[in-house]
A and B are shown apart, each in its own frame.
Chain A
């Protein structure tokens, strides 16, 4: 059984409210098919490339991944399209978790179904408490995000979602737990 309660430490990348799927992965890259391994990686190189120009680069030019395992967001993260390419692009870029005030329904579901990242929900608005590049520690099991100065922010319980993400998505989880066969 995989670890359902990882602790993630690293730099955070901070975005605002209503970050839609066109900003996470613009439609011109939807010709890439996520189940083809090299195209999965390529999707990671374009993660968050649709953000406004005043944001710092999420993935540096020429790189395939980002230096930020944690994304901190405002309300309604992932609104818009049902494209699973969105959580996949973030996951392929090295994001382990998003901590948002709230999520659009399909993005949340796709994040869990694919097991690409932990969609954590904050109890308070965190986008003003952190700046891109800050170090933080996210404890999935404890449901806390700890800033570099030691401030601890309690997150909403993620419940049954954590083991599904840890397993690697719904199919892997269903096999691990015996819900479906291993054949």
Chain B
């Protein structure tokens, strides 16, 4: 039987020769990811159901990356990290990245592939909806709740339904100034915030080759914004090179059969795409950036698992070099590695840190999820009033970055940086 990459990964993880969409199957997990917001609850479920002294199914399989509420005075946030620390010690878990130490990483979805925890063909469950990011490397990766995660923690298995696949074939070359973020915002705009509910979003086509691994992460990260169960891109030479540089563990990639049937097939000519934004308050409210110059901004935000990778900051710096921002501009590198990259990466001999400082951006924050999801009241960049924000993050729901009065426009790093300079939404191609 002809199967998609998602179906093949799930079949193998279920010990079956084949599966079809709609089948309910028990799959073996390779990785369970959790963090400081959902980890304590997951641990609570695990202990309640399996016992105080129970051991996790695989100490190498559980990856805990605190990232949400790190740089805050919130007492409970600190208590939650203590719960993680105690558990890690009790269980002897090797993959824990402790805040306040040299092991600290930052945003889990950028740290996961960076640290070699994402391998093609594997199954990753995570207590975070943006776990779908990891499909960028040809893994099946999806977000689950604490109760399911507690089950996985104890058994290494989960009962899931095999999703139907929506296939997006990307052909052609992106124009200069048009990015992976513009691809995914266009796709979500076309199918709507529930257009991929219960489905896999598979991206293929000749256009994939030009995309870096980080570009592919940006695309798969936002599959959930269309309701997708997972986003996925088959591994290629770039993927293999990236993964093998970060892990020695063996893995076996899988690929869609060329004629594998899907629920729906869409084709995009990437050369026709333009810089865009998603308007408040849903990620499917697509608008062409050049047509929204009437929107005056009060701040810009560059960060998160979607838009806080080193490539995102390089794009922003290309725009800001030699220019001044005209609104408060908040920069939050996703991980410590990205933060170090801001110092080591240069454009014409000038570091990104220096470019951003000269452009008038606010001091760069330490890596974490920060204001992408609002968070505790003292969170860096939190929108506490009627701010109008252009942001490289993934969600613009009402109140997402803090105040319900704030309006959030999602955009690429190019568009966010150019708009920060202009003071209103603008097409970044004028600046490149």
Contact = CB atoms under 8 A, between A and B. Distances in A.
B399 A50 contact: yes
A84 B45 CA distance: 12
A81 B145 CA distance: 9
Contact of A75 (B147, B194, B395): B194
Contact of B404 (A31, A34, A52): A52
Interface in B264-293: 282
B71 to A, nearest CB: 14
B395 A106 contact: no
Given A18-B282, A105-B227, A109-B144, A26 B399 contact: yes
B48 interface: yes
Contacts of B131: 82
B38 interface: yes
Contacts of B373: 22, 27, 81
Interface of B: 37-38, 40-41, 44-45, 48-49, 68-69, 74, 76-77, 80, 83, 126-129, 131, 143-148, 150-151, 193-194, 197-198, 224, 227, 229, 282, 373-377, 395, 397-400, 402, 404
Contact of B229 (A33, A84, A105, A171): A105
A84 B38 contact: yes
Interface of A: 18, 20, 22-23, 26-28, 30-36, 50-53, 75-76, 79-85, 102-106, 109-110, 113-114, 169-171
B151 A171 contact: yes
Nearest to B40: A33
B80 A31 contact: yes
B69 A31 contact: yes
Contacts of B48: 35
Given A27-B375, A28-B375, A104-B197, A80 B144 contact: no
29 contacts: A20-B397, A22-B397, A22-B398, A22-B399, A22-B400, A27-B373, A27-B375, A27-B400, A30-B68, A31-B74, A52-B404, A76-B227, A80-B129, A80-B395, A80-B397, A81-B128, A82-B128, A82-B131, A82-B145, A83-B37, A83-B38, A85-B41, A105-B229, A106-B129, A106-B145, A110-B147, A110-B148, A171-B45, A171-B49
A26 B374 contact: yes
Q: Give chain A's interface secondary structure class.
A: loop
Contact of B41 (A23, A33, A75): A33
Contacts of A35: 40-41, 44-45, 48, 146
A36 B41 CA distance: 8
A51 B150 CA distance: 30
A79 B400 CA distance: 13
Given A22-B374, A30-B69, 15 more contacts: A20-B395, A27-B374, A28-B375, A30-B37, A31-B80, A32-B76, A75-B194, A79-B193, A80-B397, A84-B41, A84-B146, A109-B144, A109-B145, A114-B145, A171-B49
A31 B76 contact: yes
A85 B68 CA distance: 15
A53 B406 CA distance: 13
A170 B377 CA distance: 35
A75 B404 CA distance: 21
B145 A84 contact: yes
4 nearest CB pairs, A to B:
A35-B44, A84-B145, A110-B145, A82-B143
Nearest to B39: A33
Given A50-B398, A104-B227, A33 B44 contact: yes
Contacts of B376: 28, 31
Contacts of B45: 35, 171
Contacts of B145: 82-84, 106, 109-110, 113-114
